[in-house]
Amino acid sequence: MIKNRKQFSAWVIGLLALSLAGCNEAEVLPATTPGDDPLAGDPTRREVILGFQNKLNIKTAGTDTRVATRADAPIATTEENEITSLDIYVFSSDKEEGPYTYQERFCYRSDGSTIPNATKIVLTVEGNNVALATLRPKKGLFTKFYCIANQPKLLKAGAEYTVFTPLEQSSPGADYNVVTKAGIPTETDFLTFTTPLLDPAEAADVLLTPLPMVGSYSPALDLRDISMGSRTRINMTLSRIVSRFDIINDEKLSHLTITGVSMGHGRKGVTFFPVVPVEDADPTKTLITYPDRDFDGADANKGTQTGAFYSYPSPIADKGYLIIKGKYALNMTDVPQDVSYMVDFEQSVAGTGGYIEVKPNHRYTVRITDADPFKLDVNITVSDWTDGGDFEYQPENELVIGTLAAEPAGATAIENNNTATVSPDETSYFSIPFTSNSEAECSIVYTSSPGGSAEWLKTEITKDVVTRAGSTAYTCKVSKNTEYTGNLFPKAIIVLRSKAGREESQIVVKAAVGVPTVVAATGTPSEPAGVNSYVAGSESPDVTTGVLSMQKQENAGTISSMKLTVTAKGGSKLSGLPAWLKADKVIGHETEAVDYTFTLDQNAKGFPTGPFPANAAATFEIQNLSDAAKKVTVTVNVTEAAAP
C-alpha cells in the first residue's frame, strides 16, 4: 500500500515534475574573458550559462567528471544521472508573445563529436551539485531554450525529424529589427515532437540508462540589446521523462526467482514539453506490451533491485500493469515451474483506492510479500524521483482544480472533471477554476496532428481573488481559436502549471465529431460506367457499415474504379485497405467533403481468384481523422463482368 499520507496526497494532487523544474530568473553576470570558444569574441552573440541543479554524472571521452553526491545512498543512481548527450534548441521571436521559430542548436556529446549544423559545447562542474553549459546564442530577439538530455533523435508524426532551418532577422540591435524569414520548425510544431517509439516486436527495445531528461526556460530571455556584453545565468533542473520501478524480492522467502519484467497497456513514447504520452491515430494501437527486460543486477532476487524496469508514463485510464515472469518452487526438491503474474497499478488506502497513475520522474517500489503458482501479493509505494530524497508534499504549494464549468451551459460534456468533449462548432466552451500559491500558466498540447499543426483551441488565464495567504484563485478559459479555419480537431491536453514548483494538472479535451458519411460521388463515379457501386448500411442512429462492389475486368489492363465522397468534420482516413484495392489518397482533411478514388489491381497479391461474385472478399475502415473510433466499416465484394 502507499506508505504515508504525504505520498498519498502527492498522488491525489497529481504533482508532476515536467520540463522546467525550479527555474530561476535570469541572473546578469560580468562578461568572461574569451577562451577557446570561437564564438566568444563575436559581438553579435551573448554568453548564457545554464546551471543544472541535478547531481549529474558528466561522461566525457576518457574521463568521468562526476558531481559529488551525498554521503547517504542517493535516490538516483550514478547511471541514472549520467549525461552522454545534451541538445539545447533555441527559439526566438521579435515579439515577446511570439510566434517563436527555430534559431540555432547547441550540442554536447560525451565522445567529443560534433553535430552537423549545430554548435559544439562542453559541460563543466561547479561545486558539488551543479553542472554548467556555456552557450552563446545570437542577439537581437526574445529567446527561449529547450534542453533534451540523452535523447538526440526527435520524431515528428512517427518519422525522425532532421529539417532545422535557422530564422533570419533584418537589423539585430535596432528598434526596427524584425524576423524576415521564420525558422523551421516553429515552436508550436517542435512541442509536438516525440521520443523514438518503442516497438513491442523488437526484443531489445527496452528503456535503459542513460535516461532521457528535459528542462526548459519558459519565459523568453530578452536579447534585443546587441550592445549588452555581460553574461546571463539561468538555473534549472533536468527532469526524467520516464518512471522507475524498484522490485524487492527475496527468493528464499517468496520461493519465486524473477527472470524478466515487462509492462502491459504501456505507452510507446512521449512528447518532451510537457511530457505527454503518445497516442496512435488508431486507438487500438495506442497501448502496447513492452518487450521483456531481463531481471538482473547485484541485488536481483536478494533484496531491493533498483531500476529493475523503466517505462514511459501511464495515465490511470490505461489501466496499465507490470508483468513479472520467473520460476516458482515451494521446496528445494520441487521442479521449478514457469510463472507469470500481472501486477496492476492499483492500491487501496483505508479501504478506498483505485489505479495509480504512473508519472514521469517518479519511483515505484514493488515489494513482493507472498507468491504461489497462481497469484503474487505485492505492496507498491510511490515517491518523487529527486536526487536528494523522497518527495515532500507541501499543502501550501498545491495546485487544486475546481469544478469545470460549461459556457454556455450544456455546450460541453464534462466527464470526471478531467475530460471535456466539445463541439467544434461552438464559440465558447468551458472554464477551469483552480488555485495556486504561485504564478500559474495554462497551455495546450496536441497529442497528434496528422497533416500538420491544427491549433483549434486557445486558452486565456485570469487571476481572481486571493483565497488565503499565499494562494490565488485563477480561471483558465478554454475556447475555440477563432483564427483556426481548418477541418482537423486532434485531441488536446490542457496543462495547468505552477511556474514556481512542480505542481501540474492536465485536462483532456476532445472534439465531438461524428461518423463519416460515405456516398457515391456525383456525376459518373464508376469506370467503366455503372459496373461499380456503393451502398451504405442502415444502422441507427449512425451509418457504420457500407458495401463497395467492384467489377473484375476481363482485360487486366482495363481500369475498374469507383469514386466515393466522404464527408467528415474532423477529416477522414482510410485504414486496412487490401493490397489489391488502391486509393488515390489515404487521408483527407482540407475540407469536410473529400473524394477518394478506389481502383482494382487485378495483378496484386491476394486478389480474389473466384468463384465470383466473391462476396466479403475484404473489409477496410473509413475513420474520422480526429477520432478514429468514429468509423465506417466497408465490405468489399468483387464481381465479374458478364461474358459477351
**Residue range 289-332, pLDDT digits in tens:** 999 999 988 889 998 899 999 999 988 888 889 999 999 988 77
Cβ burial, residue 87 (10 Å; 0-12/13-18/19+): buried
pLDDT for 615 beyond 90: yes
**Where residue 356 falls among pLDDT bands split at 50, 70, 90?**
confident
CA dihedral (254, 260, 264, 269) positive or negative: positive
**Which phi-psi region, left, alpha or beta, contains residue 18 (left: φ > 0; alpha: ψ -120 to 50)?**
beta
pLDDT at 466: 65
Q: What is the dihedral of CA 261, 265, 270, 274, to 10 degrees?
A: -110
Mean predicted confidence (pLDDT) in 271-276: 89
Three-state SS string across 454-516, please?
A: CCCEEEEEEEEEEEECCEEEEEEEEEECCCCCCCCCCCEEEEEEECCCCCEEEEEEEECCCCC
Q: How far apart, in whole angstroms, are the C-alpha atoms of residue 637 and residue 604?
A: 16
Report phi then psi at 86, rounded to 5. -145, 125
pLDDT digits (tens, 9 = 90+) for 405-427: 887 776 677 877 778 888 888 77
Poorest-confidence range of 27-41, 346-360, 388-402, 465-479?
Answer: 388-402
**Which phi-psi region, left, alpha or beta, contains residue 381 (left: φ > 0; alpha: ψ -120 to 50)?**
beta
**Where residue 463 falls among pLDDT bands split at 50, 70, 90?**
confident
Q: Determine how β-strand 352-355 pairs with β-strand 346-349.
A: antiparallel
Is there a contact between 549 and 532 (Cβ–Cβ < 8 Å)? yes
Nearby residues of 473 by Cβ (< 8 Å), 6 or more positions away = 433, 434, 435, 463, 464, 465, 466, 467
Is there a contact between 606 and 550 (Cβ–Cβ < 8 Å)? no
Helix, strand, or coil here: 395? helix
pLDDT for 629 beyond 70: yes
pLDDT for 387 beyond 50: no
pLDDT for 125 beyond 50: yes
Q: Which domains does the chain have, with CATH numbers?
A: 25-63+73-240 (no CATH), 243-384 (2.60.40.2630), 396-511 (2.60.40), 517-640 (2.60.40.10)
Cβ burial, residue 592 (10 Å; 0-12/13-18/19+): middle
**Where residue 398 falls among pLDDT bands split at 50, 70, 90?**
low
Poorest-confidence range of 279-283, 340-344, 588-592?
Answer: 279-283
pLDDT at 528: 93
How many residues are listed for the chain in this entry? 644
Nearby residues of 641 by Cβ (< 8 Å), 6 or more positions away = 531, 551, 552, 553, 554
Q: Per DSSP, which regions of 94-167 are E strands? A: 101-109, 119-120, 123-126, 130-135, 142-149, 155-156, 159-160
pLDDT digits (tens, 9 = 90+) for 82-109: 888 999 999 999 998 889 999 999 999 9
Using only C-alpha atoms, what is the Rg of the chain? 28
Order the strands of the 302-311 sheet from edge to edge.
302-311, 243-250, 362-371, 376-384
Report phi then psi at 11, rounded to 5. -70, -45
Cell match 545570437: residue? Answer: 138
